[in-house]
Amino acid sequence: MKKSIRFWQFAGFVFTSVLGVLLHFLFDWTGGSVSVAPFSAVNESIWEHLKLLFFPMFVFAFIENQYIGKGYKNFWCIKLIGIVFGVLLTLILYYVINGAFGKTPDWVNIVIFFVSTLSGYLLETQLFGKNSIKCESPKTALGILWLIALTFVIFTFVPPRIPLFFDPTTGGYGF
């Protein structure tokens, strides 16, 4: 496995961890700015917390692509797999732990974020190392990531009235 992949994936984990934590507070720090709402948490729903993993990983993928992406035909397919895995793992851990134990303390939710972020990058690292993913259409993979980003933006302002979008602290939904 190339050393540069490990370096970039570790850098991605650090970038995502730091930016994700900052994005948790950014909406409040800006006084509820509409301009930061699409990519930062606007409430305490699990949906809004998924943005804290998705957007930093997505942004870092563009940074990483500039340095090593051209060397991997499967780059965007692996990034799609890693990011979606991290998001889904967050949902699974959150609902399993909350289902088993009831409301969990904030530190457990923070651990879920870091475990999911690390797991997404570790999966990507393994996939880059094995080079076993056949990526027929990198543009489609990138398009799917953009579609997910658009979904986060739309559902920030027009969330469905289902538990995934429910803010337990205010009893509201979305922005």
Q: How far apart are CA 147 and CA 132, in angstroms?
A: 25
Bridge partners of residue 128, in order along the sequence: none
The 3-state DSSP class for residue 87 equals helix
Cα of first residue to Cα of last residue in the chain, in angstroms, is 44
Domain locations along the chain: 3-165
pLDDT at 44: 94
Per-residue pLDDT of the chain in tens (175 residues, 90 and over written 9): 456 899 999 999 999 999 999 999 999 999 999 999 999 999 999 999 999 999 999 999 999 999 998 888 899 999 999 999 999 999 999 999 988 988 888 899 999 999 999 999 999 999 998 877 888 899 999 999 999 999 999 999 999 999 999 999 999 998 8
Q: How far apart are CA 21 and CA 163, in angstroms?
A: 23
Q: 70: Cβ–Cβ under 8 A, 6 or more apart, which residues?
A: none
Q: 91: Cβ–Cβ under 8 A, 6 or more apart, which residues?
A: 46, 50
Burial 86-112 (b: 16+ CB within 10 A, else e): bbebbbebbeebeeeeeeeeeeebeeb
pLDDT at 43: 95
Using left for φ > 0, alpha for ψ between -120 and 50, and beta otherwise, residue 134 falls in beta
Q: How far apart are CA 27 and CA 33, in angstroms?
A: 6
The single-letter DSSP state of residue 136 is S
pLDDT at 3: 63
Q: 34: Cβ–Cβ under 8 A, 6 or more apart, which residues?
A: 175
- pTM for the structure as a whole: 0.93
